[in-house]
Amino acid sequence: MRDGTQVIIRPIRSEDEPMMVKFHETLSDRTVYLRYFTSLSLSRRTAHERLVRICTVDYEREMVLVAEHKDPQTEEQKILAVARLNELPSDRPDKTAEVAVLVSDRYQRQGLGTELLRRLMQIARDRKISRLVAEMLWDNLPIQVIFRNLGFTLRSPGDAASVQAVLDL
């Protein structure tokens, strides 16, 4: 990360559920709102059924990456950020996938969000996905800056509350 902290970026695993609970405990209300477009409570975000679904990736259609840090003193491992790619169902041969990213408040502005999205873009290219899309709130300017810097085009669909980012690969 920008401050020199070492992280490992890897696919999520089913054993990550307890670390995912702790990760969600670190998120501010604002961060949750920006990611889910609503104030999803901690108990709903950490419900076992939900986390099992998130931690068990269907590699045919999706990918979830986590940025993990191991405290050198305590050896405690923490998840600092999570990013996902979901292929959208389609009858057409060209595949489109949606991406989203979520960084723990304390570790924002360290380059993690950008790096996770960069990795998902590479995974999408490797999987011959033709197009990436992402949806964000119109006032979520940080993520709009990031998508623009990564080459995405931003556009506003009819509804003024959100902005869509699109990248043809």
Ligand X SMILES: CC(C)(COP(=O)(O)OP(=O)(O)OC[C@H]1O[C@@H](n2cnc3c(N)ncnc32)[C@H](O)[C@@H]1OP(=O)(O)O)[C@@H](O)C(=O)NCCC(=O)NCCS
Q: What residue ranges bind ligand X (CB under 6 A)?
A: 31, 34-35, 100-103, 108-114, 134, 136, 140, 142-143, 145-146
CB of 108 to ligand X, least distance (A): 3
Tokens of 147: 């998508």
Could you give the CA distance from residue 117 to residue 102 in angstroms, rounded to a whole number?
10
Our CB check for ligand X shows the closer of 142 and 151 to be 142
Our CB check for ligand X shows the closer of 102 and 129 to be 102
DSSP 14: G
Our CB check for ligand X shows the closer of 51 and 83 to be 83
CB-closest chain residue to ligand X: 113
CB of 88 to ligand X, least distance (A): 15
> Is 102 strand, coil or helix?
strand
CB of 66 to ligand X, least distance (A): 13
* Residues in contact with 132: Cβ distance below 8 Å, sequence separation at least 6, in sequence order: 85, 96, 97, 98, 99, 120, 121, 124, 152, 165, 166, 167, 169
Our CB check for ligand X shows the closer of 7 and 136 to be 136
Pair type for strands 95-103 and 129-137? parallel
